[in-house]
Each structure stands twice: as C-alpha cells, then as structure tokens.
Amino acid sequence: KALEYDLRQAVLKNELEVHYQPLIDLEARAVAAVEALVRWRHPTRGLVSPAEFIPLAEETGLIVAIGEWVLETACLQALEWPQLRVAVNLSPVQFRGRELVETVDGVLVRTGLDPARLELEITESVLINDATAALEILNGLKSLGVRIAMDDFGTGYSSLGYLNSFPFDKIKIDRSFIGDMSSKDKSGAIVKSVISLGQSLNMVTTAEGVETIEQATFLTNEGCDQLQGFYFSKPVTASELTAFIDRWE
Ligand code: G
Ligand code: G
Ligand code: MN
Ligand code: NA
C-alpha cells in the first residue's frame, strides 16, 4: 500500500524516467533502434527497477497512464535520433480496453513521429486471454503504420500459431536462450532454428541479452538480424545513448 501511494505520487511528481538500450543491426553494422525501458527514481529508495513496480502498476491500473507517458516520452526523444527506430513495451493490461489504438494514434499525432519508426513490443500473454480481441487491436495498430514485435519469444507457450495468426514484424529471442547457449547445446540449436524460422516468415530476428563476444559471433554467423544486450550497452539515459551513437559512428 505504501508503495502504491508512492507510485501514484511518482507519476504526478515526474519521478519516472525512460532509459534506452541500443539494438545493433548486423548487416548495417550500426545502431538500428533503441528499446525504451522505464525506471523510477525514488526519493529514498534510489533507482527502482520496473520488475519491481510494473506488476503493482498493472494491478492498480496505473500502467495505463504510465504506459502512455513512456510512449509519448520515447516518441518525443526519438525525434532527436532521426535514423533510429524506437521500441516501447506494452503491458497486457493496456490491451484490455478498446482505447489502445486511439492512444497510440494520439501520441503519434502529438509528437509528429513517423509511425514507421515506432515498434511496439508485446508478450504472448497478450494473445492468450482473448485472441480475437487482441488480433483486432493489433490490426488496428498495424493500420496506423507501426511495427509489432513478439517479445521474450520462447518463454511462454510459443505457439507457432501465434506467429501465423498475428501480424508480427519481429521476433525477439528471449535472453534465457542466449545465456544458456555456451552450456547447453540445445539452446544453441533452438536459437538457430528460431532465426531460420524468422527468416522464412520474413520477420526481423533480434537476440536479447547478448553479453559476450562468443554469443555475438555465433548469432552473427547464424544470420540473426539484430543484437541487444550488455555486451554492447546496458539501458542508459538519452544523453548517454546519444554519446554511444556518436562513438559508434
Ligand atoms: O529494464 P529492465 O530489465 O529492468 O525491465 C524489466 C522488465 O520490465 C522487462 O520485462 C521489461 O519489458 C519491463 N518494462 C520496462 N519498461 C517497461 C514499460 O515501459 N512498460 C512495460 N509494460 N514494461 C516495461
Ligand atoms: O522483457 P524485456 O525483454 O523487455 O526486458 C528487457 C530487460 O532486459 C531490460 O530491463 C534490460 O535491463 C534487461 N537486459 C538487457 N540486456 C541484458 C543483458 O545483456 N543481460 C541481462 N541479464 N539483462 C539484460
Ligand atoms: Mn522488451
Ligand atoms: Na524480452
């Protein structure tokens, strides 16, 4: 309850921040996109991870306001990085109402961001409860011109039917598979086959949680399109990300 009160205050007092983590395109050898990740600069607890407060935000419904704020902040920030796409995570709770498409459209209109530069990341949990409603919303989002990414692929049911039935532009391979590649042959084999699955379906493949040069080399050789992880950069502030891009070029 104390944390819930604090979280409401956080929204009002501008204590939330958006950090950005680069996605490296292997063909272009350049930063292709950034993923927006929210943080809470708590007055006494310091920087609080979303893993701690997103569940509470979802239970209380605060995620709807927080999600819209993150989206608008990230789209505005993306105007300063005209060569990049920006990816924003959506909570399953944001799919419950009917207003998500209007909300995203409103943010695009207010910020003036080219919709083709916005990528929305969703997890399978969005699709499980009410697939028909989810499909309608995803089609509505697609018709705005934004891109849709399947996040954390491999951790849920990972039904191949989802890839068939929903309009995904990208598959993000969950970092648990990348982390296990050196110790488990199976993980390497799974990663390989998800990359070729993505290629055959004309979807961009991104590997999450890339922490070592060995992982980066393996993924490059297997034809993965984009890499994301601490090996390149952890999520950083907007100005640190600008410095990262400048160093890269
Ligand atoms: O950045 P970090 O690894 O601490 O994020 C932990 C989790 O919080 C991840 O699963 C990430 O997707 C989620 N997360 C981060 N930012 C947002 C956000 O703006 N909205 C939603 N719904 N989830 C987020
Ligand atoms: O669920 P989602 O994929 O949105 O989660 C993104 C989270 O993953 C971010 O909070 C980020 O801090 C974390 N992350 C990003 N790169 C790495 C990495 O290389 N290793 C680990 N352990 N976590 C990472
Ligand atoms: Mn994500
Ligand atoms: Na993920």
Atom of ligand 1 at shortest distance to CA of 123?
Answer: 12
No. of H helices and E strands in the chain?
11, 9
Structure tokens at 111: 């910020």
Residue 243 pLDDT level (bands cut at 50, 70, 90):
very high
| Planar angle of CA 56, 234, 218, nearest 5 degrees | 115
Give the integer Cα–Cα distance in Å for 144 and 244.
31
147 within ligand 2 shell (Cβ under 6 A): no
Secondary structure percentages of the chain, helix, strand, coil, to 5: 50, 20, 30
Q: Pairing mode, if any, of strands 85-89 and 118-122? A: parallel
Structure tokens at 101: 């498409």
Atom of ligand 1 at shortest distance to CA of 94?
Answer: 22
Q: What is the pLDDT of residues 207-235, one digit of tens each?
A: 999 999 999 999 999 999 999 999 999 99
Tell how far the Cα of 172 is from the centroid of ligand 3, in angstroms: 8
Tell how far the Cα of 50 is from the centroid of ligand 1, in angstroms: 5
Whose Cα sits closest to atom 22 in ligand 1? 91
Mean pLDDT over 106-112 rounds to 98
| Planar angle of CA 232, 169, 180, nearest 5 degrees | 45
Buried b (16+ CB within 10 A) or exposed e, 198-220: beeeebbbbbbbbeeeebbebbe
Tell how far the Cα of 127 is from the centroid of ligand 1, in angstroms: 18
Whose Cα sits closest to atom 24 in ligand 1? 89
pTM, two decimal places: 0.97
178 within ligand 2 shell (Cβ under 6 A): no
Atom of ligand 2 at shortest distance to CA of 151?
Answer: 3
Of 47, 50, 55, the residue nearest 35 (C-alpha): 50
Q: What is the pLDDT of residues 12-40, one digit of tens each?
A: 899 999 999 999 999 999 999 999 999 99
51 within ligand 1 shell (Cβ under 6 A): yes
| Per-residue pLDDT at 183 | 84
For the domain with range 2-248, which CATH number is right: 3.40.600.10, 3.20.20.450, 3.10.20.30, 3.40.50.150? 3.20.20.450
Residue 64 pLDDT level (bands cut at 50, 70, 90):
very high
Tally of CB atoms within 10 A around 148: 20
Residue 98 pLDDT level (bands cut at 50, 70, 90):
confident
